[in-house]
Chain A
Amino acid sequence: MALSVTLLVLDASGLGIPVRIRAMASDIVAPLLDILERPIRGTQAGLERLAGVSDIYLENEKLRKENEMMREWRDAALKLTRENDELRDLLDAPGRTVPTVATGRVIGVGGGAFERNVVLNVGTGDGVALNLPVVDATGVVGRTIQVGRLSSRVLLVTDINSRIPVRLEDSGALAIIEGQNSRELRLNYVPMGTEIKVGTRVLTSGHGGIFPPDLPIGRIVEVREDAVIVEPESLLDRLDFVKVLAYVPLTPETEPEPLVPLEKAPATQAEATE
């Protein structure tokens, strides 16, 4: 009991077990977790397949319609991307594509009822580092908080310790999204007078230096008197493969020079240095 209290006091005072030791503990069990999670995934996939057999016809129809719509969207997106690239070239502005460091698989979960994190089967050996954004095909999953050689731990957006600067897609208003240790997220610090609508998408704002801008986080599902509730976009209840992004935020040194309109351009060197 004395050991337990001592460790808790050390943890509370910030002198607890170093992150590196925790990461090593995850590394030790990672190979075993990697092996054991495969049959679990297989069984889950098999059960889902069995459960879905009866809906296959209806789902097929729905997917066909969605596919047609997506094709139109794809053409429009390709055209816009091309235009965007050309304009970026003209302005000499940096691109917004964030490369992937590693694609990992969720092999373990942690935290129990107290925290929300998952263990991935990629670590420093795969190029993963601390505080890198992690996404799945639909949106932000979280960020890396512990990295070992073979495994890394990701703090999920739903964890109570997770706070991410965001903006609302329609109004552009900036806010902070916080985890609640449940399925829902809470939107805080929304500027006064901002019109908040159910269904609005919430994207990362790029502030804070961990997440690149414009990654989808969730969608507003409820506006209460005291809180705005957001449902995560990512498939947090069935995470499998995720991508760790190599995001390096733009620093003042790497940011492009702001464009100065011709009519406001300083006339003299002295004016420019003022």
Chain B
Amino acid sequence: MTFRRPTLSRFGLSGYLPVIITFICAFIMLLPLGTSAANVTVPHLALASAFYWLSSRPLLMPYGACALIGFFLDLWLDVPMGLNIGLLVLTRFFVLNQLKHYKGRSRIVYWAVFTGLSFALYAIAWAVTSIVRGDLWPLVPILTQWAVTAVSFGPLALVFGRIRRSVM
């Protein structure tokens, strides 16, 4: 019987990089960047990071890590508990099931897939928040943040790609 080391530790310290980077991205979302009160201009960095790493190294971002990062994000951002957990877990579920259709394609395809996925996730988040809070939530701020997140995925993916190539 052979003993299999967990996937994360098989890569050594660099195996934890996707989780650490996504965690840092979640933390950066708290900082008063841009406008301190209207955080809509700050993209959902954790979502972009999770999608990038799941698309390139799916095994290094397990469900547990997605849920944990989402949990902290929910606590820190003071949004309904479970919202970001759900978004990140759904992202992993989507990527694991659909990666075969876009793996190895051009960056534009990855960008387009992320744009579509993030739109669906924001629509779900809007519906969930409206149900939890018992009121129809304003759409404009949510659409704005989705647009900013979708647009910023390209540059972010470039940065993540550089990090991945230099470390892994």
Interface range for B: 35 or more
In the complex, which residues 57-114 of chain B have their Cβ closer than 8 Å to any Cβ of chain A? Answer: 67, 70, 72, 74-83, 85-86, 89-90, 93
Question: Do A16 and B81 have beta carbons less than 8 Å apart?
Answer: yes
Closest partner residue, chain B, to A19 (CB atom) = B78
B31 at the A interface (CB under 8 A):
yes
Contact B76 A29 (CB under 8 A): yes
- The residues of B with any CB-CB pair to A shorter than 8 Å are 27, 29-33, 35-40, 42, 44, 67, 70, 72, 74-83, 85-86, 89-90, 93, 122, 125, 128-129, 131-135, 137-138, 140-142, 144-146
With a cutoff of 8 Å between Cβ atoms, the chain A residues found around residue B90 in the complex are: 1
Q: Is A156 an interface residue (CB 8 A)?
A: yes
Stretch at the interface among A87-95, A180-188, A245-253: A180-188
Q: Which residues of A contact B89 (CB under 8 A)?
A: 1, 4
Q: Is the contact region of chain A dominated by helix, strand, or loop, or is it mixed?
A: mixed
Instruction: Contact check, A11 vs B82: say whether CB atoms are below 8 A apart.
Output: yes
CB distance from B35 to the nearest CB of A (A): 4
Contact A11 B31 (CB under 8 A): no
Instruction: Give min CB distance, A217 to chain B, whole Å.
Output: 14
**Smallest Cβ-Cβ distance to A154: which chain B residue:** B37
Q: Report if A36 contacts B (CB, 8 A).
A: yes
Q: Does A26 contact B (CB under 8 A)?
A: yes
A120 CA / B131 CA spacing, docked (Å): 29
Number of A interface residues in the complex (CB < 8 A):
52
Closest to A237 in B: B35
Which chain A residues numbered 213 to 242 have a C-beta less than 8 Å away from chain B? 236-240
Q: In chain A, what residue has the closest Cβ to B33?
A: A40
With a cutoff of 8 Å between Cβ atoms, the chain A residues found around residue B131 in the complex are 12
Q: Knowing A106-B32, A110-B76, A113-B40 are in contact, say whether A8-B132 is a contact too (CB < 8 A).
A: yes
